[in-house]
A and B are shown apart, each in its own frame.
Chain A
Amino acid sequence: MRGKLQILYQLSLADFRERKRRYSFLVTMIGATFFGYLVITGKYTIQFGQYKCIYNSAWAGTLMAVCCSIMVTIVGFYLVRGSIKRDRDTKVGQIIATTQMSGRIYITSKLISNTAALLLMVASLAVMAFATLLVKNEMNGISLWAFISPFIIICLPALIFVASISVLFETFRWLRGSAGNIIYLFLAETWVVLGMLTVPFLDIASIAVFTDSARAAAEMAYPGVRVGLIAGFVAFDPEMHFEVFKTFSWNGIDWTIAMLLMRLQWIVLAIAATGIATLAFDRFDPAKYKVKTTRRKIRKLLSSEVQENHLAPVQPGYSSLCQVEPKFRLAQMVAAELRLALKGYHWFWYMVAFGLMAAQGAAPFNIARQFLIPVSMVWPLIIWSSMGTRETSFNTDQLLFSSPSPLRRQLPAIWFSGFLIALAAVAVMAVRAGLAGQWPYVLTLVVAAFLVPSISLTMGVLSGGRKIFEVTYLVIWYIGSIDRLTALDILGTLEQSIMASKSLLLIIIAISSLIVTFLTRRRQMNMY
């Protein structure tokens, strides 16, 4: 037993060390710190109309713990996933598979490592919140337990659960890629929103528990008043800006056994998810994750093997090969990039893509605008997120960087292929809007098609991976175009989201990001 624990500890530690030394982890921590800043400054918060709790230990701790739990639930999954994939990609997994280590130990070590990474993030935010409390405390003295207990009772179960789901998704082939990212986002949003509204056992971030308790305190302080509530980016909501707030005192959640059991449930679910992940773990057996080959394909492969082995075709001599006169054509390069970007997906993917384009033409205008366009602009996510990363992930960078003018040839071609795909995704709707004379909306769609491949290429080149763009874009897309926060709605799903100044700003962002991409790629080419 002690030996197993020792192995578990060493594995988890090695995985955690590997993870925290990655550049992407640094970016993650900077992102988490920025989130902490948004919470501390009240830009992202939970607000009770014009009623404001006195800044004390319970409020500072609980608010940050709840906000952290929301962040971890929605974004944390993306930040920690990929450790099994890394072992698979680096072939370390095949070495691990030949050792005596059980799948249970391996999967548990990934859970622990994921949890540790999320814990580090939350701990840094807790420190930020505590430092702020020291400055802003409106009560006499600080209650350490009132501050720290929400992190233990609210955050810890949530992050263990998210860490386990991340491992679970990695053990199922069909959940490993971008499809898993999209599915998870919808699941997480459902947990958070339903939990907050009506279904207590889905309240992963304890939002309802927290707000019910604080609201009760406010209503007790101001009898007869119905206290409103908003959670999220309050800074973007002008209705939540008040000159003067009425204050009330709140001393933290009064935890009951039932409430604590609700928190415990997430740990139990995490254990169950880890158990399922252990059962589903293929131990890096390549036969289990290679693309399934049909009988027809097998026959074809076998026949070509036979021909290759036994017919030994006569080769021409090198000097007899035809000569070529190199002359670069951008269209040729864009076509090659498009082929590369669009090849290799399941037939279902293409079917849905074409179906969405057709539906944009057939559906009522507002349905197409509010639902079909957002879906059309997330469906090619996997293509955009691969832009700028393929050279690194497929190890073709040396071949491409030693070709003539890679910065002037290949890089623009990658962007252009992404732009064409984005244009195709919105084309039918843009034509329809044009015919209806809605030119501002047409401009919004074209600007979105310009922006999305631009930032995806930048993030891909900067990070070398797909995750940062996928997380960033999915969050903006969801908050803006699904939750309809007009400031972030780049697709113009609502009329009030369309502003000339916003379009101009997005064009500036896109062009700036392309300049950053160019400079970064040039630096990378000189860095080897």
Chain B
Amino acid sequence: MILRTDHLGKRYKGNVWGLKNFSAAIDTGILGLLGPNGAGKSTLMKILATVTRPTEGSANWDGYDVAGSPENIRRSLGYLPQDFGVYPNLNAVEYLSYLAAARGISGKSGKRRINQLLELVNLGEARKRRLGSLSGGMKQRVGIAQALLNDPQLLIVDEPTAGLDPEERIRFRNLLSELSGNRIVILSSHIVSDIEAVATSIAIMNKGHLLTYSTPEELLRSVQNKVWEITISSIELPEIKRTHLVSNTIRTVDGVRARVVGEQEPNNTARRAVPTIEDAYLLLLNGKQGEPHEG
């Protein structure tokens, strides 16, 4: 079970490329997609979910071309789009039953699975409530449940933690970890900590291009000895921000503790810090400015 993309690209109206030259071999585990708005994450996911067709290149699932034979991947697919809707007059069970019918899931086992999924996403008590009356986070959990209806071998989730409270976010991360053993999970998020917590590989994208595709360890190694902590006064902070890449600041009684990412130490009081994925992400985005990944 492997998902390959080969120079995948999508051009939108007005000759705007949403995705360009994306090549990767995605194996079982969780692939975290990181990138700013407009990086091409959602476009990539829509192509892989057969919602949109690539303008160039190809994607291949288990030997079948995704655009040419979408049915093969659809049978194995669970997909949660970034923005999806619900039918407000249906309750969660009815909504999931509807989508289950579209996927050919029916009968007693189908009903049991729907109820179990609703328990899994902590909506057991709200299963009979009209979806129109649910909060955004609860609807998002219904969306997560629908993506798991057919026990997908390929799970694509676009910004799944949007609208979830911290407790639910952790619950969802744990669920993804449990899922990742024998299937491919592709997860996109703006929240680096979500990716950091669960991803077994990470792809960083910008302006439609793949900047890097590596394991979290490799990514962390790329910023080894390049992350510094300095304590400065509030007055000095704007100048440091102007001249250096500051990934984080914390107010302390001694001033502002700033986390600086760069080859050179920002001043002689700087101390080396343990790097994080966020540091690597920022360095990559600001250092390469969208320069595409080779290979």
Point out residues on A near B: beta carbons under 8 Å: 291, 301, 304, 307-308, 311-313, 315-329, 332-333, 335-337, 339-340, 343-344, 390, 394-396, 398-406, 409-410, 526, 528
Shortest distance in angstroms between B196's beta carbon and chain A's nearest beta carbon?
A: 22
Shortest distance in angstroms between A496's beta carbon and chain B's nearest beta carbon?
A: 42
B52 at the interface (CB under 8 A from A): yes
Instruction: Find residues 94-113 in chain B having any chain A CB closer than 8 Å to their own CB.
Output: 94, 97-99, 101-106, 109-110, 112-113
- Residues of chain B lying within 8 A (CB to CB) of residue A324: 105, 109-110, 113, 149-151
- Residues of chain A lying within 8 A (CB to CB) of residue B116: 316, 320-322
Report whether B113 and A405 are in contact in the complex, using a CB–CB cutoff of 8 Å.
no
- Residues of chain B lying within 8 A (CB to CB) of residue A395: 83-85
A349-B52 Cα distance, complex, nearest whole Å: 39
Report whether A344 and B75 are in contact in the complex, using a CB–CB cutoff of 8 Å.
no
Partner of A336, one of B71, B75, B98: B98
- Residues of chain B lying within 8 A (CB to CB) of residue A400: 99, 102
Shortest distance in angstroms between B46's beta carbon and chain A's nearest beta carbon?
A: 7
A390-B88 Cα distance, complex, nearest whole Å: 11
Interface 9-mer from B31-39, B125-133, B205-213, B264-272? B125-133
- Residues of chain B lying within 8 A (CB to CB) of residue A315: 119-122, 171
Report whether A401 and B51 are in contact in the complex, using a CB–CB cutoff of 8 Å.
yes
Partner of A402, one of B53, B77, B97, B113: B77
15 further A-B pairs in the complex, CB-CB below 8 A; given A318-B175, A323-B113, A400-B99: A301-B133, A304-B125, A322-B112, A324-B110, A324-B149, A325-B109, A327-B106, A344-B89, A394-B87, A394-B88, A396-B86, A398-B79, A401-B51, A528-B46, A528-B52
A343-B85 Cα distance, complex, nearest whole Å: 17
Number of cross-chain contacts by CB at 8 Å? 141
- Mask: chain B, 37-52; 1 = CB below 8 Å from A; 0 = not: 0000000001001111
- Residues of chain A lying within 8 A (CB to CB) of residue B85: 394-396
Report whether A326 and B51 are in contact in the complex, using a CB–CB cutoff of 8 Å.
no
Report whether B50 and A402 are in contact in the complex, using a CB–CB cutoff of 8 Å.
yes
Report whether A404 and B175 are in contact in the complex, using a CB–CB cutoff of 8 Å.
no
Partner of A409, one of B102, B109, B113: B102
A-B contact pairs, 27 of them (CB 8 A): A312-B122, A315-B119, A317-B178, A321-B120, A321-B151, A322-B113, A322-B116, A324-B150, A324-B151, A326-B103, A327-B106, A332-B101, A332-B106, A336-B97, A340-B98, A343-B94, A390-B87, A394-B88, A396-B86, A399-B99, A400-B102, A402-B51, A402-B79, A404-B71, A404-B74, A526-B53, A528-B52
Report whether A327 and B104 are in contact in the complex, using a CB–CB cutoff of 8 Å.
yes
A311-B90 Cα distance, complex, nearest whole Å: 25
Report whether A308 and B126 are in contact in the complex, using a CB–CB cutoff of 8 Å.
yes
A435-B49 Cα distance, complex, nearest whole Å: 53
Shortest distance in angstroms between A381's beta carbon and chain B's nearest beta carbon?
A: 17
A131-B38 Cα distance, complex, nearest whole Å: 50
A397-B119 Cα distance, complex, nearest whole Å: 26
Report whether A335 and B101 are in contact in the complex, using a CB–CB cutoff of 8 Å.
yes
Given A304-B125, A318-B148, A326-B75, CB of A403 within 8 Å of CB of B102:
yes
- Residues of chain B lying within 8 A (CB to CB) of residue A528: 46, 51-53
Report whether B49 and A404 are in contact in the complex, using a CB–CB cutoff of 8 Å.
no
B287 at the interface (CB under 8 A from A): no
A406-B84 Cα distance, complex, nearest whole Å: 17
B124 at the interface (CB under 8 A from A): yes
Shortest distance in angstroms between B180's beta carbon and chain A's nearest beta carbon?
A: 10
Shortest distance in angstroms between B111's beta carbon and chain A's nearest beta carbon?
A: 10
Given A318-B178, A395-B83, CB of A301 within 8 Å of CB of B129:
yes
Shortest distance in angstroms between B179's beta carbon and chain A's nearest beta carbon?
A: 6
Report whether B113 and A321 are in contact in the complex, using a CB–CB cutoff of 8 Å.
yes
B117 at the interface (CB under 8 A from A): yes
A401-B74 Cα distance, complex, nearest whole Å: 9
Point out residues on B near A: beta carbons under 8 Å: 46, 49-53, 71, 74-75, 77, 79, 81, 83-90, 94, 97-99, 101-106, 109-110, 112-113, 116-117, 119-122, 124-126, 129, 132-133, 146, 148-151, 171, 175, 178-179
**Which A-chain residue is minimally distant from B132 (CB atoms)?**
A291
Partner of B150, one of A317, A326, A339, A399: A326
Shortest distance in angstroms between B75's beta carbon and chain A's nearest beta carbon?
A: 6
Given A321-B116, A322-B116, A324-B151, CB of A340 within 8 Å of CB of B90:
yes
Partner of B178, one of A313, A319, A327, A344: A319
**Which A-chain residue is minimally distant from B156 (CB atoms)?**
A402
**Which B-chain residue is minimally distant from A293 (CB atoms)?**
B133
**Which A-chain residue is minimally distant from B12 (CB atoms)?**
A528
A326-B244 Cα distance, complex, nearest whole Å: 55
Shortest distance in angstroms between B27's beta carbon and chain A's nearest beta carbon?
A: 20
Shortest distance in angstroms between B70's beta carbon and chain A's nearest beta carbon?
A: 8
Report whether A405 and B71 are in contact in the complex, using a CB–CB cutoff of 8 Å.
yes
Report whether B124 and A313 are in contact in the complex, using a CB–CB cutoff of 8 Å.
yes
Shortest distance in angstroms between A176's beta carbon and chain B's nearest beta carbon?
A: 15
User: For A301, A304, A311, A326, which residue has the most chain B Cβ atoms within 10 angstroms?
Assistant: A326
Report whether B74 and A403 are in contact in the complex, using a CB–CB cutoff of 8 Å.
yes
- Residues of chain B lying within 8 A (CB to CB) of residue A410: 102
A323-B110 Cα distance, complex, nearest whole Å: 8
A304-B89 Cα distance, complex, nearest whole Å: 18
- Residues of chain A lying within 8 A (CB to CB) of residue B83: 395
Report whether B50 and A401 are in contact in the complex, using a CB–CB cutoff of 8 Å.
yes
- Residues of chain B lying within 8 A (CB to CB) of residue A321: 113, 116-117, 120, 151
Shortest distance in angstroms between A434's beta carbon and chain B's nearest beta carbon?
A: 33
The 6 A-B residue pairs with the shortest CB-CB distance in the complex, in nearest-first order: A344-B89, A395-B85, A328-B104, A326-B104, A528-B52, A336-B101
Report whether A398 and B46 are in contact in the complex, using a CB–CB cutoff of 8 Å.
yes
- Residues of chain A lying within 8 A (CB to CB) of residue B148: 318
Partner of A313, one of B102, B117, B125: B125
